[in-house]
Amino acid sequence: MAEAARAKYKVGGMDCASCAAKIDTAVRRIAGVEDVSVSVTAGTMTISHNGTSDLKAIEKKVTGLGYSVLPMPAKAPDHDQAAQGHNHDQADHDHHGHIHPEKDITDLHGHDHGQIGGFWWQSRKGRLTIAAGAALAAAYAAGHLMPAIAPYAFVAAVLIGLVPIARRAISAALSGTPFSIETLMTVAAVGAVIIDAGEEAAAVVFLFLVGELLEGVAAGRARASIQSLTALVPKNALLEENGQTREVPAGTLTVGSTILVRPGDRISADGVIVSGESAIDEAPVTGESVPVRKGRDDTVFAGTVNGDGALRIKVTAASADNTIARVIKLVEEAQESKAPTERFIDRFSRYYTPGVVAAAALVAIVPPLLGAGTWEEWIYKGLAILLIGCPCALVISTPAAIAASLSAGARRGLLMKGGAVLETLGKVTAVALDKTGTLTEGKPRVTDIVPFELKEAQVLSRAAVLERNSNHPLALAILDRAKSDKVPVPPAFEVEAVPGKGMTGRVGGERLDLLSPSAARATGALTVEQGERIAALNVQGKSVSVLLVDGKTAGFIAMRDEPRGDAKAGLKMLTDAGVRIVMLTGDNERTARAIGEQLGIDVRAELMPGDKQRIVGELKREGFIVAKVGDGINDAPALAAADVGIAMAGGTDVALETADAAVLHGRVGDVAAMIELSKRTMRNIFENIAIALGLKAVFLVTTVIGLTGLWPAILADTGATVLVTLNALRLLRPVR
């Protein structure tokens, strides 16, 4: 079977799920279209078709619904776009499109222009709202000066605002969405004109346009924090080649390139520091308020700011795959994946809107037929009910909260791949965590230096001499400690590795050996007491190296992969929230138990990847909602099996791809923060639904008994939509 052709479009003016649904429904009905994916967040539409589709007809259909549409090139046309982390032709991953630079987001509805593409009054919807307002004011003035022409002036004012709305309503109805918000508005306004309520009809149309504008400007704020990430990566980079430095577009950097980053510059690519040391401000990406000191072999992110030292950095990810691009991609995919609550609202509104139309018709027709009042009175009430029933606030109640929550999370380094993930996180009752790289730093540190005859610094210095050219993790731990303690590391001679035993060499006339305990024991250098001391350190999960000077034991150096600084506090946050915690690790039982006792967590050790997956399954069968936190390939099966898989920063690509969420900054406490954000979001969603339905219920009753009419009806709908959106935006506020 031939592979389906794909076409991508930039779509302007989408605010919420109902916008995307209208476009999706309309485009799917066009011959040859096999699949449609509309991304509200990215403002894009991706179509799979069999090659026979009329692409111009698709563009015309979307334009007819009131949205701007522009074909997107298969590849970034210039380096500016590439530099900002966009991947326009990544067949494996790019199902939904990507967010584009601010300069590209043009001709949006007034909804978005307040925040992204310019000022709201420059947009099509903004100009229409201004025109409708001016026409309403002119009609009032004309009616005051010449009362005889007032009805005609108000009808003209109605038509100025209503004609574009009616065209969108007709286009939506012909495309498979007969009960759109625009349809309800058009019927209500035309009905009001027929019963000689032209003044109210003109005001209602104007208020409807203002409501849409306010709704869009507010919704745009929820997206702004994600879209602003594209501006974090600089457009240019200083590339080192053949000893020379030249400025190139950051989008042209390839993996393995070496770049120079001067003090104060933004880092233009993900990479590893080759030389230099500096304080890196990671706040733009991770939210970390204190600059992090980094040196050789440390990882740096694109978009972070170099502090006080020049750095040479080896690029580890192309611009389309750097941290910023991945953050944006994760959030885009997240907003594509609807939460169960959101799907419920979509289904509910599908039946709710026709129900409102039917109720309005019954209110308009039945009472006068029964002689309970005049036709004009009850038709007026029916039209008001039609406006009250507009599902704007209800439809936006969930996606607005989810968009705000995903944006807030991303700014704090909490990335979630979907609304469903966000909803499930709040229900988590058990968290299974990997040890190495998740609860611990992932690399050993020197924990104890035990000298015999020499001083601590002398033991450390001699050990570092032997390890200075080694890349073994234990050697690096010794060298790091020597560097931090500022002990001298003189040059050594005749240094060589002894396979399976350790290192040997000569320094200043001394013969030095750094051996494993078993190798040292074989030389006869260890006393019984020293052997017991080594055993005690081993029980604590520490690896021990024995330093011999001229054949005599001079000291021990004990090393262990230590818990992250925030691990204990982060685990306490989880247990305080009533969540069961357990460590799942492939490490040996002794080391795992030592770390587990230090952190106060249940331990399951010496596990293969399949064992971790099995234990996650057992927890689920016991009734727990399970989150699995890990960073390695061996965690991938368990991450996939869990209700929510959470990858730690710095983890393997496999872990990041398999996981449902990621903790960018690698803090254990961020797992608890992610769960709390989910709970806040769900509370916010239920508040939004209550606001939307509550206001409608109140005004439905007051309209039927004659206390309120068309004006309050449209204000109720607009007010509910704005209240719901503003309530959702509270999720953007940082939590202390």
**In angstroms, rounded to a whole number, what is the distance separating the alpha carbons of residues 700 and 693?**
10
607: CB partners within 8 A, 6+ apart: 584, 585, 586, 615
Buried b (16+ CB within 10 A) or exposed e, 114-141: bbbbbebeebbbbebbebbbebbeebbe
Structure tokens at 142: 């004309």
- H or E stretch including 58? helix 55-64
CA distance 630 to 44: 33
Question: What are 630's strand-pairing partners?
Answer: 647
Q: How far apart are the first and last CA of the chain?
A: 55
H or E stretch including 482?
Answer: helix 473-485
Helix 392-411 to helix 323-336 angle (10° resolution) is 160
Under 8 Å CB-to-CB from 727, ≥6 apart: which residues?
401, 684, 687, 688, 691
β-partners of residue 280 are: 292, 306
Cα–Cα distances in Å, from 364 out to 325, 381, 387? Answer: 54, 7, 13
Known catalytic membership, residue 485: no
CB under 8 Å to 223, separation ≥6 — which residues?
41, 112, 115, 116, 403, 407
∠ at Cα 379 (378, 385), nearest 5°?
90
Of 104, 321, 434, 561, catalytic: 434
Distance of alpha carbon 496 from the chain centroid: 49
Structure tokens at 339: 């939460």
Whether 385 and 703 have beta carbons less than 8 Å apart is answered as: yes
Query: Which of 396, 433, 46, 24 lies closest to 222 in space, CA to CA?
Result: 396
DSSP string, 354-406: HHHHHHHHHHHHHHHHTTSS-HHHHHHHHHHHHHHT--HHHHHHHHHHHHHHH
Residues annotated catalytic, as ranges: 434
